[in-house]
Each structure stands twice: as C-alpha cells, then as structure tokens.
C-alpha cells in the first residue's frame, strides 16, 4: 500500500541530492531569483574562490530593492544604487544570466517577475535573497528566502543545505464578507497564530477559500507566510494555476505543456496525507484587519480598539508596551480615526493589476486628503503597462496619487521613498518593523489596498466598507 503524501514531502524528497553529515538535506534549487542588493557580495565571494555560476540558465535577475521609482534616467543620484545596479548588470553579463533590466519592459519586483514570466512553476524549488520568496508557494512551489552567503551557495552549487520543517495545514473554508480581501486573511492568520507560530513549519493553505482565490490573491497570502514565522507556504496547484501559467514566456509550451500539467497535477497533496498540525478557520470570521504595532501579528479588526497593556497576556506585555510607545497610539482608543500622513500602495504583497483595478473601482471621484502624501508603485513594468492600458493610472493620478515606476519603494525604504520623522503610513506592504520604511521613528499600519485608499482619502485609518459603501463581494 502506498502512503498518501503531501506536496511538500514530494518536492522535498525529489529535490534532496544528499543528506549532509550534520543531518541537513542538500536541496536542489530549480530556480534562483536574484536582485541588486543581496548579490554583489555573493558574486564577489564566487570570484574569491574562482568559481563560476554553476547553472546560469536557472538564475534570473531583476533590479527592484534600491532602484528609484521617480525616474528611470540614469546615472541615479544615489551612488550606491547606481553602483549596485551596474554591478548586477556586469555580473549577469559575464555569467550569461537572464537579466530583466530597466529597459527590458519586464523589470519588476523579484517576486512579481517569477510568476509573470512563468519561471515560478508547480513542483519546483525556488530560492531568492529576500524574505518574501514564500510568495512563489502560491503556485505549489517550495520557495525559501535566503541570506547573502546562501545566495553564494546557490550560485556556486545550485543547492542549499536545509533542515526539513514540519508541515501545518491551514484550512480556511467559507466566504469572506464584503470589503474583506486576501490581505485581511493573511493578517488574520498571523494575528491568530502569532509571528512566531510558524517557526519550524511549512504552511499548506487549504480549504475552499484558497481554492476559489485567484493566483494574485494566493500570492498575497503566501507572500506574508514568513511574517508568521514559517519559511515557506504553498497552495496546491490546480486549474487556476495552470490557466495563469499558460502562454507565459518561460512556461512549457506545445507537447511539453501537456506533460507539465500532468506532472503538476500529480505533485498536489493527496487526501489523507500526514500533517504535523492542522488549523481550521472560518472565512466569515475574517474582518478588515489593520496592524497597530511593530510586527504584523499586532493586528486588530478596523472596528476594534487599540489594546491596553493590561488586556494582553503577561508574556506579551513588554512588546506591547514597546509597540504602543513607538506607534504613539492611545491604548483603548479605536484604531479607526488614527491620522495618516502617507499612503503607500505597492510592494510584492499588493501591487498587481487586480489590486489596482479593485481600488480604482472605489477611487473614482475621490481626492486624496490634503495632509496625505500618496504614492502608487506598480510591482512591475508589465503591471504598470496593463494599468495604463486600462486607464487605471489616470484614476489614481486624478485622485492625487503619484504614479511611479516599478520597484520595492517604500516597502523597505532603501531608495528615496522613505517616511520622514514619525510620519504614519497606511501601507499595502508586508512588514511594519521599526525603521522598515526608511525612518527610525516612522510608523507603519499594514492593511489591504482598498483600506489604504480609504485612509488616503479621509486622512485617517477608516473602515473602507462604510466609507465606500461596499455591499457585495464578487471576486472570491
Ligand atoms: S517589495 Fe518588499 S518584501 Fe517584496 S521583494 Fe521588495 S523589499 Fe522584499
């Protein structure tokens, strides 16, 4: 009798090249995504050892982290940005690596270009020097964020030494309410399980909610897996996955396509397979969720009050006190109504065409509040072009958003897009750590794109369901 197996076990076993003396698996990496910030040192180390890039055909590069979004005319005023981009250009050229450069028409945030180009495929292993590589799990891939020395290892060996995590199935069934989105789902999961709840686990997102989700929604969910402590998270591949990939430049074509689909179907978890843990949630319980603190688990419904220190578990009180002090928020006060200075619409969590299109529906006829600086940063050149073709850019610009070039932008504030002083930013990004958006005293409130739009217009954290009179939900 053959035991039912999970997608995770199948991929792990088929990619284990050897077991190392320390017990770790040496995992073969199918696709390695690289960008300008975590590679200069890695390529330098390769040169020190006189090693080539072992499999340049499995390595794909883009510029995103430090590239400016207000201009595409170089040389860029930040000498570090200019140097990093030039170095990546030279390294890709000398190693024959495909590079989605600024003039390629296909540049974008690293976790956007993998799926857009059809590089991200079910049943594969993917690595990238960015924590949010978990995004690619939306396709039924096992995808890990890695550090610079591991980028070096993958460049040199196309493998990674990894300890196999346990597997948790997170099953969410039912329908989301109007004005509730994939971003709310993952913020809710992290709130319930904690930012360390997933340490030592891989997550399988299952249940009819995820089955009904579009690929873009699944990417939003998988993107923030790392914020809940799990290195990777995935959704089993299905017809939605295959339809998304069909015809993309690096996806299989012709007879190879049919064979690939058969392979991809076979990699999905089988009924009755083993999970080390199972968590079940009801989609109807997910509210529009916003963070109030300095990690993504410090989150509440937009209708709730900011917690008091006394209301929190003894163990959490020190971090709650630190968060309240940093955020300058009043314990016990409603989070709705908190003044907002900056609205950031971007990042690999929520800067896809469907995100912009959903917000555009509600933005028409509205103006950004005079006290709010609002920027919209498409996740890739493909997204930017498609939004412009659909007239979405015009709606954003008429409302008062700046319409930028693609890049990570204010997700991490490595380029000139930074908070100033203690500005509070309503943000579609994934991380609200102290200093994340470029100012040590800056404050980040994570939320869905439609909630960011409501905050931009009203100048305060706002329940978008009431403000935009959202009565129906169509997409999930
Ligand atoms: S948008 Fe943010 S999380 Fe995504 S790749 Fe860039 S820096 Fe990383």
What are the tens digits of pLDDT across the range 128-186? 999 999 999 999 999 999 999 999 999 999 999 999 999 999 999 999 999 999 999 99
Residue 83 sits at the vertex; the CA angle it makes with 80 and 87, to the nearest 5 degrees, is 140
CATH number of 7-278: 3.30.499.10
Q: Which of 173, 170, 167 is nearest to 274 (CA)?
A: 167
Nearest CA to ligand 1 atom 4: 348
Neighbour-count burial for 238-267, b at 16+ CB within 10 Å, e otherwise: eebbbebbeebebbbeeeeeeebbeebbeb
pLDDT tens digit string along 204-220? 999 999 999 999 999 99
Pocket test for ligand 1, best of 64, 115, 375, 446 (most atoms within 8 A of CB): 64
pLDDT higher than threshold 50 for residue 476: no
Predicted local confidence at residue 474, as pLDDT? 60
Beta bridge partners of 145: 128
User: Rounded mean pLDDT of the chain?
Assistant: 97
Q: Which of 304, 329, 343 is nearest to 463 (CA)?
A: 304
% of the chain residues with pLDDT over 70: 99
Tokens representing residue 136 in the block = 């690619």
Nearest CA to ligand 1 atom 3: 132
Ligand 1 nearest-atom number relative to CA 64: 6
Ligand 1 pocket residues where CB is under 6 Å: 64-65, 109-111, 130, 132, 347-348, 408, 411-412, 430
CA of 112 to the centre of ligand 1 (A): 10
Please enumerate, as own/partner, the contacts of 243-251 that have beta carbons within 8 Å and a separation of 24 or more. 244/115, 244/139, 244/215, 245/118, 245/121, 245/139, 247/118, 248/116, 248/117, 248/118, 249/117, 249/118, 250/117, 250/118, 250/119, 251/118, 251/121
CA of 309 to the centre of ligand 1 (A): 32
Task: Calculate Rg over the CA atoms of the chain.
Answer: 21
Predicted local confidence at residue 2, as pLDDT? 75
CATH of 290-467, one of 3.90.870.10, 3.40.50.2300, 2.50.20.10, 3.30.499.10: 3.30.499.10
Predicted local confidence at residue 472, as pLDDT? 81
Mean pLDDT of 325-351: 98
Question: Fold match between 7-278 and 290-467?
Answer: yes
Contact 106, 236 (CB under 8 A): no
With the CA atoms of 166, 172, 178 and 184 taken in that order, what torsion angle do they form, in degrees rounded to the nearest 10? Answer: -10
Domain ranges in the chain are 7-278, 290-467
Pocket test for ligand 1, best of 408, 409, 427 (most atoms within 8 A of CB): 408
Predicted local confidence at residue 392, as pLDDT? 98
pLDDT tens digit string along 56-86? 999 999 999 999 999 999 899 999 999 999 9
Q: Report residue 376's pLDDT band, with 50, 70 and 90 as the boundaries.
A: very high
For residues 206 and 186, what is the distance between their CA atoms, to the nearest angstrom? 13
Question: Is 337 exposed, middle or buried (CB count within 10 Å of its CB: 0-12, 13-18, 19+)?
Answer: exposed
For residues 344 and 358, what is the distance between their CA atoms, to the nearest angstrom? 16
Predicted local confidence at residue 1, as pLDDT? 66
pLDDT tens digit string along 378-396? 999 999 999 999 999 999 9
Predicted local confidence at residue 424, as pLDDT? 98
Provide CB contacts within 8 A for 95, sequence distance 6+: 43, 52, 53, 56, 59
Mean pLDDT of 429-449: 98
CA of 430 to the centre of ligand 1 (A): 8
Q: Report residue 336's pLDDT band, with 50, 70 and 90 as the boundaries.
A: very high
Mean pLDDT of 235-254: 98
Contact 390, 357 (CB under 8 A): yes
Residue 387 in marked binding region = no
pLDDT tens digit string along 163-176? 999 999 999 999 99
């Amino acid at each position: 009798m053959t035991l039912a197996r999970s997608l995770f076990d199948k991929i792990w076993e088929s990619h284990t090249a050897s077991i190392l003396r320390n017990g770790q698996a040496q995992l073969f990496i199918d696709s390695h995504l690289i960008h300008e910030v975590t590679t200069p040192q890695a390529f330098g180390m390769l040169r020190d050892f006189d090693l080539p890039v072992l499999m340049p055909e499995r390595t794909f590069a883009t510029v995103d982290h430090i590239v400016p979004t207000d201009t595409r005319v170089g040389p860029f005023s930040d000498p570090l940005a200019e140097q990093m981009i030039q170095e990546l250009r030279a390294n890709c050229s000398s190693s024959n690596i495909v590079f989605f450069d600024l003039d390629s028409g296909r540049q974008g945030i690293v976790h956007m270009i993998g799926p857009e180009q059809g590089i991200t495929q079910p049943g594969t292993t993917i690595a990238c020097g960015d924590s949010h590589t978990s995004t690619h799990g939306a396709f039924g891939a096992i995808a890990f964020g890695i550090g610079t020395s591991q980028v070096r290892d993958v460049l040199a060996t196309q493998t990674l030494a990894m300890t196999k995590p346990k597997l948790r199935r997170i099953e969410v069934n039912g329908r989301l309410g109007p004005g509730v989105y994939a971003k709310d789902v993952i913020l809710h999961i992290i709130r319930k399980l904690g930012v360390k709840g997933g340490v030592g686990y891989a997550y399988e997102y299952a249940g009819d909610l995820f089955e009904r989700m579009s690929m873009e929604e699944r990417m939003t969910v998988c993107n923030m897996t790392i914020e809940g402590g799990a290195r990777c998270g995935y959704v089993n591949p299905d017809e939605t996955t295959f339809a998304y990939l069909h015809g993309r430049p690096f996806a299989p074509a012709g007879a190879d396509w049919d064979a690939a689909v058969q392979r991809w179907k076979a990699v999905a978890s089988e009924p009755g397979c083993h999970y080390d843990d199972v968590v079940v949630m009801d989609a109807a319980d997910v509210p529009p969720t916003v963070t109030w603190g300095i990690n993504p688990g410090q989150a509440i419904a937009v209708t709730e009050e900011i917690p008091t220190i006394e209301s929190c578990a003894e163990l959490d009180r020190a971090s709650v006190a630190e968060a309240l002090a940093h955020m300058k928020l009043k314990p016990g006060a409603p989070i709705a109504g908190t003044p907002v200075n900056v609205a950031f619409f971007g990042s690999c969590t929520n800067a896809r065409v469907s995100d912009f299109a959903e917000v555009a529906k509600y933005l028409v006829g509205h103006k950004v509040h005079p006290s709010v600086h609002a920027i919209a940063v498409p996740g890739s050149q493909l997204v930017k072009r498609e939004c412009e073709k659909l007239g979405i850019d015009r709606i954003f610009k008429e409302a008062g958003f700046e319409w930028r070039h693609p890049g990570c932008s204010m997700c991490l504030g490595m380029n000139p897009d930074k908070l100033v002083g203690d500005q509070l930013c309503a943000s579609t990004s994934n991380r609200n750590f102290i200093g994340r958006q470029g100012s040590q005293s800056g404050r980040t409130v994570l939320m869905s794109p439609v909630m960011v739009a409501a905050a931009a217009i009203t100048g305060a954290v706002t329940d978008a369901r009431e403000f935009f009179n959202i009565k129906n939900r169509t997409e999930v």
